[in-house]
């Protein structure tokens, strides 16, 4: 049974070409990257511990390995930038925004200082 966080076929078609190919000369990949991505998105959506991933997914150590190595290699950042560019182009905009607005706000805090009294 699919989870709400699972990739649809259309989403997978967009994501798959952005994932790193198997390294040449290495062992044959024995894991389905779509299932790995589904497990990563399940973890991110639910906030569960890696060890608590449902048994339908590959072992948590495999899923975490891909998540972390893609993080270190900048794959997630590249995917995000590429998908944002593709989305902008699909609605007739320039691939990169020409203007960026940054908003911030100040939050007043109490002026009292001191330790917690019990």
Computed over every residue of the chain, the mean pLDDT equals 88
Listed by start position, the domains of the chain span 9-15+29-90
> Residue 106: its pLDDT value, please?
64
Exposed/middle/buried for 52, CB within 10 Å: 0-12, 13-18, 19+? exposed
Please check whether residue 95 is in contact with residue 89, taking contact to mean a CB–CB distance below 8 angstroms: yes
> Residue 111: its pLDDT value, please?
63
For residue range 60-72, what is the model confidence (pLDDT) as tens digits? 999 999 999 999 9
| Total Cβ atoms within 10 A of residue 69 | 11
Please check whether residue 33 is in contact with residue 19, taking contact to mean a CB–CB distance below 8 angstroms: yes
Separation CA 27–CA 100 (nearest Å) = 44
Main-chain phi, psi angles of 40, to 5 degrees: -65, -45
For the entire predicted model, the pTM comes to 0.76
Provide the token pair at 97: 């925004």
* Mean pLDDT lowest among 40-44, 83-87, 106-110: 106-110
CA atoms within 13 A on the CB side of 108: 3
């Amino acid at each position: 049974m699919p989870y709400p966080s699972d990739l649809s076929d259309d989403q997978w078609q967009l994501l798959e070409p952005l994932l790193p190919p198997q390294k040449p000369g290495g062992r044959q990949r024995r894991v389905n990257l779509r299932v790995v991505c589904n497990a990563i998105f399940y973890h991110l959506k639910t906030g569960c511990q890696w060890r608590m991933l449902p048994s339908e997914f590959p072992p948590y150590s495999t899923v975490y390995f891909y998540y972390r190595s893609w993080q270190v290699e900048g794959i997630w950042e590249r995917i995000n930038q590429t998908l944002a560019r593709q989305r902008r182009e699909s609605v007739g905009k320039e691939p990169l925004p020409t203007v960026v607005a940054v908003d911030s706000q100040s939050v007043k805090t109490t002026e009292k200082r001191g330790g917690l009294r019990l």
